Amino acid sequence: MSKTIYWDTACVAGLTVRLYATEQGLAALKLPTESASQTETRLSRRFGAVTLVRDDRALELYRSALEQYAQGPFVGSLPFDAGGTPFQQLVWEALQTIPYGTTETYANVARAMGRAHSVRAVAAAIAANPVPILVPCHRVIGSNGTLTGYRGGLSLKSYLLRLEADDLDRRLDRSRATGHVGSTLFTSDWAPTCRERT
């Protein structure tokens, strides 16, 4: 039997994304640097036969969460149907505890989970995150403070970190010239892919 997956696009914080959800929750988020066919192939591998149905109302909860994220930290919880192994799910839960506007290293994420010797396994689980932005894998950086690995590309990762840093600077009345997240400076040449309706 075919699994129904609802989808729709959204324009949030200058990003054109595509959201996919089942009745149980958000299953995938396609970043602007990915193709829909790549994301839909991953969904087919996970669910088997799928029927894609475009439905903006079915995705409204997730679109609203992204809009809230674009204006500052998202507050609340969302239902996910992201699949994954029990270990991957633990890693994805850990990612959701990294505060908005901050970063954490792969090693520290592993240590916080009580898996200090499993940094590579943690990094692999982070890379497999099917719902980036809302499960903020972009907030994980290398131990030396540099950006490493992101399915959407390092320029997009920088863009998201800069978006959060600039928002915190506005909220805390800090100088936006530094564009910092914690003690790390991130610059990005990412060009927005859409404009929100005004």
- From the candidates 17, 19, 66, 137, give the one annotated as an active-site residue: 137
Give yes or no for a contact between 51 and 2, defined as CB atoms under 8 angstroms apart: yes
Neighbouring residues of 177: CB distance < 8 A, sequence distance ≥ 6:
none
Which of 108-135 are b and which e, b meaning 16 or more Cβ less than 10 Å from the residue's Cβ?
A: bbbbebebeebbeebbebbebbbbbbbb
Q: What is the distance of C-alpha 163 from the center of its chain?
A: 13
What tokens appear for 7 in the block?
A: 């989808």
What tokens appear for 50 in the block?
A: 């799928």
* DSSP H helices in the chain: 36-47, 60-71, 86-95, 106-112, 119-127, 154-172
Distance CA 166, CA 172 (A): 10
User: Is 137 assigned a catalytic role?
Assistant: yes
CA angle 11, 12, 13 (to 5 degrees): 130
Q: Which residues are catalytic?
A: 137
